[in-house]
Structure 1
Amino acid sequence: MKKSTLYLFGFIVTPLCAFAKQTDKPNVILIMADDLGWGDVGFNGNRIIRTPHLDALASDGVVFDRFYAAAPLSSPTRASVLTGRHPFRTGVFSANEGILRPEEICLSETLKEEGYATGHFGKWHLGTLTKQGKDANRGGAAYPHLYNPPVEHGYDIAFVTESKVPTYDPMICPEKNNGRFWNAVTPGESVRDYGTSYWDIAGNKVTDQVSGDDSRVIMDRVLPFIEDNRLKNQPFLSVIWFHAPHLPCVASPQHAAMYQGVSMEEQNYYGCITAMDEQVGRLVAHLKELGLYENTLILFCSDNGPEIGTPGSAGNFKGLKRSLHEGGIRVPAFMVWRKETPAGKHVAQACSTTDYFPTVLDILGHTGSTKQALDGESFRRFANGSTRARSKPLLFGSMLQGAVLESDYKLYYSEGQYELYNIEEDPFEQKDLHEVMPKKVKHLKKILYNQFNEYKDSFDGKEYGTESVKRMKQEWHTIFNNERK
């Protein structure tokens, strides 16, 4: 295990309840849905999809009104969560592209050094999980340079897939299917292996208890991990990355039946979200039963906006998954930590998945520094009512798109064209101001260029050498298409 250069205070053991002693350090749970749109949850106004447990949990904490995924695609956002860095720094430019480089200092490693047990459950999508045989999108002997399992990043326990799976009966699919939506398979129906497996921390394929609702399959592994560490009096980090409602979208017959009078696609999309919601409720009930809820930090978000051609909703925001307009990157999100944060509050400041890492460090009392630059900043003060603006702009890049968000203004770039919006006054990006505010465009354009030049330095190995650079043989992905400053 590599040693990070992050230095934190040690934890203090104090009695919390009659069940056992528990550290003062909070347990940390990071929950992420996959392709869940801003408008797909009740706490953001959806009146069709039933998400009562998410809604109740959100009301017990702080809802972020302007929360951004670091990218409009899965892998880059996930890299930002674990590192606090822009995904372009480590070459995770898109889904199924690049890996979370071993030299990156991850939240899991940092907490492990502080005595935390660390577990990752559900989707991984930051490298392949086996060198033997074909698995998912990139796994197997043909791609040895992409092998990059959770054990390389400070995890004690893992139950993970490399990428997507059907959200019901995740290991199989009907012999004939459209790859997007189908009803749950019935006895006697012709099926085949889907082609993706669950893997444990030692690199073994897991074949037991992997049928039925996928969110339940994941939570079945999370709860024993939590209980085991409660008995050991050990704080824990549990990263729970659900697959729902990413395609292939399948709901159990019971959950699909909750949505009568709509299309098959809607029944399965809505149903798998409600199934995921029930598992969040199951998690919260377990935390309360073990006396852990009050001192557990829970962060929930989606990895990007809803997929094109699905019933997913970005609300009234412009764009969907893959777009750097608001609908592709503004996602549902909340924070719950009953020990400190107030209930029933909203945060108006822009926050991002890059902020997770520094926020947790802030809560743990980190006062040191790291040789690797962090792009995020702690949103702890926002959750506690501060109205002071964030000190760092938010940067986004995907394909030939770029964007920078500083205070109320957002500059959007795509293949040589610029758009400028006042997101506070015009959240749905209807009024392009780039022609009437040239100085603001020039200012934000400079930030965009300068930051991506800095990201390229990191990508080229400036901070930690070129071993992974040479291993991956990646070329830098420019969003600017050779445009000059």
Structure 2
Amino acid sequence: MQKYIILSFLLILGSKSTFAQHKTQETDKPNVVLINVDDLGWADLGFMGSEYYETPNLDQLSEESKIFMHAYAAASNCAPSRATMITGRYPMTHGIYTVDPADRGNPKTRQLIASPNANSIPKDSYTLGNFFQDHGYRTGVFGKWHVSDDPLTYGFEVNKGGSHRGNPGKDGYFSPYTINLEAKIEGEYLTDRLTEEAISFVEENRGERFFLYLPFYTVHTPLMGKPELVEKYRKKEGSKGQNNPVYAAMIHSMDENVGRLLAALDSLNLTDKTLIIFTSDNGGIRATSHQDPLRAGKGSYYEGGIRVPLLIKWKNQITAGIENTPVTQLDFFPTFKALIDSESELKLDGESLLPLLKNKKPMGRDLFWHFPIYLEAYDPKEDSSRDPLFRTRPGSVIRSGNWKLHQYFEDGGLELYNLVSDPSESKNLATSNPKKAAELLKRLETWRFSYGAPIPSIKNPAYDAVFEKEAKEKVMK
């Protein structure tokens, strides 16, 4: 009798062990929540050092997350950044380098004909939505899509508010909306509503794995905050470059809504099973909010235009703390692939962040950007760009270790910076350190050649050097 009791006990243990192993395998594949704020600057959060903007929910999340201090968007403005993150491929593969048109600014001030620019990702693009759907996840996007007409054709089952639109339009943060979203309550705030829809999606899919993509329209223009919050920040003293009460109110509402979503995950006992990523699609607009010590802002490939906040949390799986290794949003797709389906063949241009997230080994590689296009200035006296007429002129950039090289196609100009000693990119070392400049230029050229990156070379017949010189002097008076 005792023999059978022992045997039965061993069988139960065995079945429990098998169940536990199966359960472990199941929980190895987490839900994924990707929050992508629009035009939120690197320094526009409490945990990133701001004393004006109040972000208590994100500050708390940062204490539970890996904080990437050198995280980069894949481009300096929204459409190419999003297309690259969603597909895991450089712009050379999907063709989006900017928000159309690619030749912004007065034609008399552009020396070259900009390279062709796509308006949408190709119809056969394999996106994060496709990937998660193919692996049994429920998929939903809530907010700004901006890379095609409809995310439902790229693997997403639910779409609330996403289209080709890049902003909610005039007066668009309060209903009635100008995006494809019907208001439930008159005068409701768009950021609140998108979060409400996201929470409903989580509640409906609590028993299944899900990929929730929450690309808020906020804090993109038009700047519109709740009146009571605007008044709150009007009464608060700001600092140089961070003192816009309407922008502060928008950040406040965004933070509140991130808190609402995190609380919903907690209440449904899903936090342990969910990988949470919080980031921004590009740098902030410098005329709205300075990112000191970083130079420039949205549309520029100086640090203020491409370095972004990044938090990654997976409770009990990722050790919280500060991480200084440079990473890019191109790395999100490979990370998800490593977590969910590491053996499948899939061409991606980034690298998995799992080694960094698990504290196993540092990643050592160069980061690249290519922009064969023009972006006109926002505010010539505020932008801190290379010249006052453009945030970006055609060129490429490489970050290698602590070094960063800018190459410009119009005049062949090179700018070399050491980001440790000069995070503001104020001291061009290309002349004083020609060996390092030549080394990085060779790496940059090799990378461009490997991807067939277009380099604009046709002279613009409308260009007028005298007009350009006078225009620069005029805007800086």
What TM-score do the two structures reach when normalised by structure 2? 0.77
2:167 to 164, 186, 204: 164
Change (3 A) 1:479 1:377: farther
2:330 to 354, 360, 382: 354
User: How far apart are residue 405 of structure 1 and its match?
Assistant: 1.0
User: How far apart are residue 377 of structure 1 and its match?
Assistant: 0.6
Match of 1:428 in 2: 424
Q: Which has the larger radius of gyration?
A: 2
Change (3 A) 1:398 1:294: farther
Distance 2:456 2:40 in 1: 26
User: Is 2:403 the partner of 1:409?
Assistant: yes
Distance 1:295 1:481 in 2: 53
Counterpart of 1:443 in 2: which secondary structure?
Answer: helix
CA RMSD of aligned residues (A): 2.6
User: How far apart are residue 171 of structure 1 and its match?
Assistant: 6.0
Distance 1:64 1:250 in 2: 29
Distance 1:276 1:111 in 2: 26
Distance 2:403 2:279 in 1: 23
Change (3 A) 1:169 1:76: closer
Counterpart of 1:258 in 2: which secondary structure?
Answer: helix
2:294 to 278, 294, 317: 317
User: Is 2:172 the partner of 1:227?
Assistant: no
User: How far apart are residue 39 of structure 1 and its match?
Assistant: 1.1
**Contact map agreement 2:139 2:158 (CA 8 A) in 1:** yes
Counterpart of 2:260 in 1: which secondary structure?
Answer: helix
Residues 229-244 of structure 1 aligned to structure 2 (within 5 Å): 229-230=205-206, 233-244=207-218
Change (3 A) 1:167 1:261: farther
Change (3 A) 1:481 1:239: farther
User: Is 2:125 the partner of 1:104?
Assistant: yes
2:147 to 123, 126, 142: 126
Distance 2:371 2:172 in 1: 34
Residues 333-372 of structure 1 aligned to structure 2 (within 5 Å): 333-343=310-320, 345-370=321-346, 372=347
One-letter amino acid of the structure 2 residue matched with residue 88 of structure 1: M
Distance 1:29 1:99 in 2: 24
Distance 1:245 1:481 in 2: 37
Match of 2:469 in 1: none
Change (3 A) 1:424 1:222: same
User: How far apart are residue 95 of structure 1 and its match?
Assistant: 1.8
Match of 2:180 in 1: 198
User: How far apart are residue 27 of structure 1 and its match?
Assistant: 0.5
Counterpart of 2:244 in 1: which secondary structure?
Answer: helix
Change (3 A) 1:13 1:239: farther
Match of 1:217 in 2: 193
User: Is 2:63 the partner of 1:59?
Assistant: yes
Q: Which runs of 5+ in 2 are unaligned?
A: 1-19, 101-117, 374-393, 460-477
Distance 1:439 1:36 in 2: 36
**Contact map agreement 2:368 2:396 (CA 8 A) in 1:** no
Residues 334-483 of structure 1 aligned to structure 2 (within 5 Å): 334-343=311-320, 345-370=321-346, 372=347, 374-397=348-371, 399=373, 400-414=394-408, 415=410, 416-456=412-452, 478=455
Match of 1:181 in 2: none
One-letter amino acid of the structure 2 residue matched with residue 221 of structure 1: E
**Contact map agreement 2:402 2:420 (CA 8 A) in 1:** yes
1:284 to 246, 256, 262: 262
Residues 137-156 of structure 1 aligned to structure 2 (within 5 Å): 149-156=150-157
User: How far apart are residue 321 of structure 1 and its match?
Assistant: 0.9
- Identity among equivalent positions (%) equals 31
Change (3 A) 1:392 1:419: closer
**Contact map agreement 1:119 1:156 (CA 8 A) in 2:** yes
**Contact map agreement 1:167 1:215 (CA 8 A) in 2:** no
Match of 1:248 in 2: 222
User: How far apart are residue 211 of structure 1 and its match?
Assistant: 3.9
Distance 2:75 2:234 in 1: 34
405-414 or 108-117: bigger deviation:
405-414
User: How far apart are residue 387 of structure 1 and its match?
Assistant: 5.0
Counterpart of 2:143 in 1: which secondary structure?
Answer: strand
Distance 1:307 1:314 in 2: 9
User: How far apart are residue 363 of structure 1 and its match?
Assistant: 1.8
Match of 1:113 in 2: 134
Counterpart of 1:300 in 2: which secondary structure?
Answer: strand
- Counting matched residue pairs gives 395
Counterpart of 2:278 in 1: which secondary structure?
Answer: strand
Instruction: Pick the structure with more helix per residue.
Output: 2
Change (3 A) 1:479 1:306: farther
Tell me the alpha carbon deviations over residues 85-133 of structure 1, each in whole angstroms, 9 at most, x when there is no partner.
11232111102452121222111111111100000110011023xxxxx
User: Is 2:32 the partner of 1:32?
Assistant: no
User: How far apart are residue 319 of structure 1 and its match?
Assistant: 1.2
Counterpart of 1:48 in 2: which secondary structure?
Answer: coil
Distance 1:438 1:286 in 2: 55
Q: Which runs of 5+ in 1 are unaligned?
A: 1-11, 17-21, 129-148, 173-192, 200-205, 458-475
Counterpart of 1:89 in 2: which secondary structure?
Answer: helix
